[in-house]
Amino acid sequence: MRHPRTFAVTAALGLALAGFGAIPATAATPSSAPASAAHYTAAGKHSAANDQAFYDAVMKSVAKKRAANPLAASVTVYYSTANAPSFTSQISQAAQIWNSSVQNVRLAQSNSGADFQYYEGDDPQNGSYASTDGHGNGYIFLDYSQNQQYYSVRVVAHETGHVLGLPDHYSGPCSELMSGGGPGTSCRNAYPNSTEKSRVNSLWRNGLASAVKPAA
Ligand SMILES: [Zn+2]
């Protein structure tokens, strides 16, 4: 499917999407990591309240969709890759991983009117993180060097897990997606475990109920 508004910078420069060593010169980057960010490694600032704030912002956006189409079987959350052109492969894989793991929420790409956006750039202080602007929109920032150091698909799937409402748990094993950078750079698991899947399904079942307002 073609998205006319997608930046064609990557294709024009002939950069390889598969390798995350390719760094486009025109990456749009948030100016700095806000206080409400959930990071991939414990080095970054993090709190459960921040995770909740981000989830609340995404749900607020989803609630508008539910109001427009209250009979849909599951909630679809739309993401934009327009500002993360060198990560489209990893983002697509992360979406596929989540869509094959949970039933009550679906991720789909739509570069116009998306619920949340992926960004890419250099932020050695904060690394990769998920955040919100507090106005119903969220974004995920993917740090170049961290995505080279760690398995990139795991980084993207982990940050996407924040959008679906999961908090960080750095002390967990590699088999746990939300342990993030905790198990070290050799960890290549990009799938949520059964507990994480159940939690997301539960969150979005509850979220679905609260998002749908009864008819007046
Ligand atoms: Zn995290």
Q: What whole-number distance in Å separates Cα of residue 127 and Cα of residue 83?
A: 17
d(CA 155, ligand 1 centre) in Å: 8
pLDDT of residue 104: 87
What are the catalytic residues? 159
Q: How far, in Å, is the centroid of ligand 1 from the Cα of 182?
A: 10
pLDDT for residue 3: 40
Q: Quick one: tokens of 65? A: 């969709």
Using the mean position of ligand 1's atoms as its centre, give its distance from the Cα of residue 179 in Å. 8
Cα 131 to ligand 1 centroid, rounded to whole Å: 10
Give pLDDT, residue 57.
75
Cα 159 to middle of ligand 1, angstroms: 6
For each of the chain's 216 residues, which pLDDT tens digit applies?
444 333 333 222 222 222 222 333 334 445 555 555 667 776 555 566 766 777 777 777 777 766 776 666 678 889 999 999 999 999 999 999 999 999 988 999 998 889 899 999 999 888 999 885 545 568 999 999 999 999 999 999 999 998 888 888 999 999 999 999 999 999 999 999 999 999 988 888 755 555 554 444
Tokens of residue 195, six digits: 């507990």
* HEC per residue, the chain: CCCCCCCCHHHHHCCCCCCCCCCCCCCCCCCCCCCCCEECCCCCCCCHHHHHHHHHHHHHHHHHHHHHCCCCCCEEEEEEEEECHHHHHHHHHHHHHHHHHCCCEEEEECCCCCCEEEEEECCCCCCCEEEECCCCCEEEEEEHHHHHHCCHHHHHHHHHHHHCCCCCCCCCCCCCHHHCCCCCCCCCCCCCCHHHHHHHHHHHHHHHHHHCCCCC
Task: Report in angstroms the alpha-carbon separations of 200 from 55, 100, 181, 193.
Answer: 11, 13, 20, 11
Which residue is listed with tokens 């993401």? 79
Distance 213 CA to ligand 1 centre (A): 31
Q: What angle do CA 195, 197, 200 make, to 5 degrees?
A: 110
pLDDT at 198: 95
